[in-house]
């Protein structure tokens, strides 16, 4: 990657191999920040392909510690998606 590249991460289980050198990251975690996911299986509207995302799960997390293996300070921010 170019030294000024910014990575985007959808799955937070680990840092993708191309981003292990400390590139800055933008988080778009499907199981936290996709605004159009259903809250529960009983929800009337929304999608469920990524997860059911109760409000507490959507708001009660720390982006700075969300990606396993990310260097401290690498997280630039979060993109909340709506498809």
Of 68, 66, 63, the C-alpha closest to 78 is 63
Cα 21 to chain centroid distance, Å, stands at: 19
pTM score, whole prediction:
0.77
For every one of its 83 residues, what pLDDT tens digit does the chain have, with 9 covering 90 and above?
787 888 888 888 877 776 667 788 899 988 898 889 999 999 999 999 989 999 899 889 999 888 888 888 888 999 988 76
């Amino acid at each position: 990657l170019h030294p000024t590249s910014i990575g985007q991460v959808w799955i937070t289980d680990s840092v993708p191999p191309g981003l292990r050198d400390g590139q800055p990251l933008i988080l778009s975690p499907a199981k936290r920040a996709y605004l159009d996911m259903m809250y529960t299986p009983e929800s009337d509207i929304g999608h469920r392909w990524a997860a059911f995302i109760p409000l507490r799960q959507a708001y009660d997390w720390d982006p700075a510690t969300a990606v396993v293996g990310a260097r401290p300070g690498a997280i630039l921010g979060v993109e909340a998606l709506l498809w």
